[in-house]
Structure 1
Amino acid sequence: MTISMLQWTEAELRKQGNRPITFDQEIKLMPELADRFESVSDASNYRVQGTIEQDGVGWLATVQATGEVTAHSTRSLAPVRVAQDFTFAELWIPQDRWGSDAADTLMDTTSVLTIPMLHDMIDIYSAVSDHIVLELPSQILTEDEAKEGVMPAGKDWHVISEAEYDAQKKADEKPNPELAKLKDLLDKNQKTDDNDPAK
């Protein structure tokens, strides 16, 4: 039933009726993945498993993907190999039903990501590529960077960790005793001036 690279046309899906489509393939993502996303420089083949089932006005795809991707360190831009094993679900709706009352109702009641079927096709290959990037951690470090905790620095600047930033912020919020004394003195002087009948 598959054309190639985990893609199904709407016509093929309709032929299946209520019978689910199951798949378990190893796919090659390079060089297309790096061409689409600057944050990725390399990737292993990914094992992609899942099912596609008819669900009301569309088809629900549930997918698990496992592999490794090479991304850039968020600290130094050095290449870092990141192992991945993630699952996602997407509800694909034919373009002629997109925007219909039934589709809108379904979108309002489901927590699953809803996607229009561009070119009347479900494209799991591209969906896996998208989720590989979405699943990357917000902080990516090489082993040495993670061990040493050294941040980049230059003339008149340096990067601090989030923990250091929070500690610095808390320290800034603590009252300065010298400033507190000065404020008390000014307050006392103000009261004295206010009570001075000569003024």
Structure 2
Amino acid sequence: VSVNLKGNLVVPSTRSLTPVTLPQDFTFSEIYLTDAGHADQYEDGEILMPLEDAELDLLPAIEDHLLLSIPMQVLTPEEVASGDMPSGDDWEVLAEEDFDKAVKKEKQADNPFTKLKGMFPDDDQS
């Protein structure tokens, strides 16, 4: 079975939960077998779906492929253009790059206890 799916999917923005319309246009193919004895006609890498009834319900396959087509990060056009991240009184959302820079800067900060490191010999060396 080859299915061509075309339409619009409305999902929430991953940053602000504002609805975002994602255009969908893709094709997927799946192989359904009514008789398991015919499985040897297909290559090893192909996924074969057994049919238990004489009727084929494509809704689960369509739902699976739609869910797989949703990107991990969905932003409104305004969020993409501005690049601003949400923040509050004692919190803010950081981009991954900004977070990595902050962690690196924190590691480079001078730790006052590093000066004490050489003052006491280890117990293993006695």
1:190 to 94, 112, 120: 120
Matched, 1:151 2:85: yes
Identity %, equivalent residues: 33
Shift of 1:144: 1.0
How many residues are treated as equivalent by the alignment? 121
Could you say if the C-alpha distance between residues 161 and 117 of structure 1 is closer, same or farther in structure 2, counting changes exceeding 3 Å?
A: farther
Separation in 2, partners of 1:161, 1:106: 50
Corresponding residue for residue 88 of structure 1: 28
Shift of 1:185: 5.3
- TM-score between the two structures when normalised by the length of structure 2: 0.68
Matched, 1:109 2:39: no
Corresponding residue for residue 27 of structure 1: none
Aligned-residue Cα RMSD (Å) equals 3.2
Shift of 1:121: 2.8
Residue segments in structure 1 that go unaligned for 5+ positions in a row: 1-60, 192-199
User: What SS does the corresponding residue of 1:123 show, helix, strand or coil?
Assistant: coil
Could you say if the C-alpha distance between residues 127 and 81 of structure 1 is closer, same or farther in structure 2, counting changes exceeding 3 Å?
A: same
Residue segments in structure 2 that go unaligned for 5+ positions in a row: 122-126
Larger radius of gyration: 1
User: Which protein is richer in strand relative to its size?
Assistant: 1
Separation in 2, partners of 1:116, 1:64: 21
Note the 1:1-199 alignment, pairs <5 A.
Answer: 61-94=1-34, 97=36, 109-112=44-47, 114-172=48-106, 174-176=107-109, 178-179=110-111, 183-184=114-115, 186-187=117-118, 189-190=119-120
Shift of 1:169: 3.3
Could you say if the C-alpha distance between residues 167 and 87 of structure 1 is closer, same or farther in structure 2, counting changes exceeding 3 Å?
A: farther
Shift of 1:107: 9.6
Corresponding residue for residue 33 of structure 1: none
* Deviation sequence 1:142-183 (CA, Å, 0-9, x none): 1111111222233433222223233333334x433x33x853
The AA in structure 2 aligned to 1:167 is K
